[in-house]
């Protein structure tokens, strides 16, 4: 195991018993689940702030914790940058001082040029002489990210860094996080219960519930699994990768290539050939046996039914568009009326598409 954990620990009535990998190349792994699923407990264990009862933690091929071998590397010596939801800046230091704190704690000291690069990456130049209490929530989050980066970490752990921010502040900081992912190539573990954040940032996804792993794998594979569209904390939609085909400036639209089909979305500022991520919620997909005519929907895609899962009054239908997968949620009555079955050719009418996410580096 190059990067991964296998952990067991108890905290009162809560039991954590999980194992998953991070992937062997620098990537972003999202820990996804509702409050109480065990996400923050895992972050604390990897950071060295919590000692599990048993298990193993390996990062970059180095064992940081192994209960059987009696290994427990201290938090200070793990070289892991952590950004918590409350960011925890030092109020008595200005922004420059907070950043230099991370720089001085680095086991392998970054150069002054690296300090300037982090400041430029996160847009902090105008904030260096200000105190944390004068910053907006988004600005404080950027400073916390910069402090963690200047520790020259082997990995970054981001524990719901946007949870305390309102929608405008989230919109402000997400582009910086995307730049961080694209430019630093540092392995990251990103904790969230917000699928829009995961869609924009993650490569891999680990779904947690009640201290256990429900699913893990690539972002695209996990969000297209039928068994995750039901239960107490369902994933609402599949995330797919598309390519910008062309722009229709006359109508303010962009055409994306997806699984051999064309997906029309509101105009986006990406060059043709760029890869983008789209999220299509299951409730926004309708099915037809014949291609509809004289309808307002711009997106009618040819698809093949890959699998069906009935769940009481509803049925979830997994659709194949080449290698891409999406889910349609219909009523069980519609399933019976259309006599849908795996292998059947259908047309998917897409009512709404959410576009977001970085182009992979």
pLDDT at 360: 44
Predicted local distance difference test score (pLDDT) of residue 359: 54
| Residues 294, 296, 299, 303, CA torsion sign | negative
Tell me, what's the pLDDT at 174? 84
- DSSP string over 102-134: HHHT-SSPPPHHHHHHHHHHTT-GGGTTS-GGG
CA distance 165 to 136: 9
According to the model, what pLDDT value does residue 117 have? Answer: 87
Averaged pLDDT score across all residues of the chain? 89
Q: Which tokens hold the place of 122?
A: 């996160």
pTM of this structure: 0.86
β pairing state of 54-59 and 62-66: antiparallel
In the predicted model, residues of the chain with pLDDT beneath 70 are 1, 24, 106-111, 230-233, 357-361
Query: pLDDT at position 233, please?
Result: 60
Q: What is the domain partition of the chain in residue ranges?
A: 4-222, 237-242+272-356
CATH class belonging to 237-242+272-356:
mainly beta
Alpha-carbon distance of 105 to 82, in angstroms, equals: 13
Q: Which residues lie below 8 Å from residue 104, measured CB to CB, with a gap of 6+?
A: none
pLDDT number for residue 246 = 96
Give me the CATH code for the 4-222 domain, please.
3.40.50.300
Give the model's pLDDT for residue 361. Answer: 45
């Amino acid at each position: 195991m190059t990067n991964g954990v296998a952990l067991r620990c108890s905290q009162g009535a809560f039991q954590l018993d999980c194992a998953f990998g991070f992937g062997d190349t620098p990537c972003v792994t999202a820990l996804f689940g509702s409050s109480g699923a065990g996400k923050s407990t895992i972050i604390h264990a990897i950071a060295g702030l919590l000692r599990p009862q048993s298990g193993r933690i390996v990062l970059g091929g180095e064992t940081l914790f192994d209960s059987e071998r009696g290994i427990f590397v201290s938090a200070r010596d793990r070289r892991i940058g952590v950004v918590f939801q409350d960011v925890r800046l030092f109020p008595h230091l200005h922004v420059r001082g907070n950043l230099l704190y991370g720089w001085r704690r680095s086991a392998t000291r970054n150069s002054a040029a690296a300090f300037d690069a982090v400041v430029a990456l996160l847009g902090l130049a105008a904030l260096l002489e200000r105190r944390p209490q004068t910053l907006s929530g988004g600005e404080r989050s950027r400073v916390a990210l910069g402090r963690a980066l200047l520790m020259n970490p082997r990995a970054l752990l981001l524990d719901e860094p946007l949870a305390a921010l309102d929608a405008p502040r989230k919109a402000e900081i997400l582009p910086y996080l995307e730049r961080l992912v694209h430019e630093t190539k540092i392995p990251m573990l990103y904790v969230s219960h917000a699928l829009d954040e995961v869609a924009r940032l993650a490569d891999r996804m680990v779904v947690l519930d009640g201290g256990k792993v429900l699913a893990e794998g690539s972002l695209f594979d996990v969000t297209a699994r039928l068994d995750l569209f039901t239960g107490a904390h369902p994933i609402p939609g599949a995330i797919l990768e598309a390519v910008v085909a062309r722009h229709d400036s006359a109508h303010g639209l962009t055409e994306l290539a997806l699984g051999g089909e064309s997906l029309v979305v509101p105009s986006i500022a990406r060059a043709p050939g760029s890869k983008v991520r789209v999220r299509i919620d299951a409730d926004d997909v309708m099915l037809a046996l014949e291609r509809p005519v004289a309808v307002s929907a711009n997106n009618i895609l040819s698809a093949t039914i890959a699998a069906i899962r009935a769940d009481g009054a509803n049925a979830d239908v997994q659709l194949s568009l080449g290698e891409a997968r999406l889910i349609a949620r219909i009523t069980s009555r519609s399933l019976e009326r259309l006599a849908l079955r795996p292998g059947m050719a259908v047309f998917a009418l897409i009512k709404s598409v959410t576009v977001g996410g970085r182009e992979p580096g």
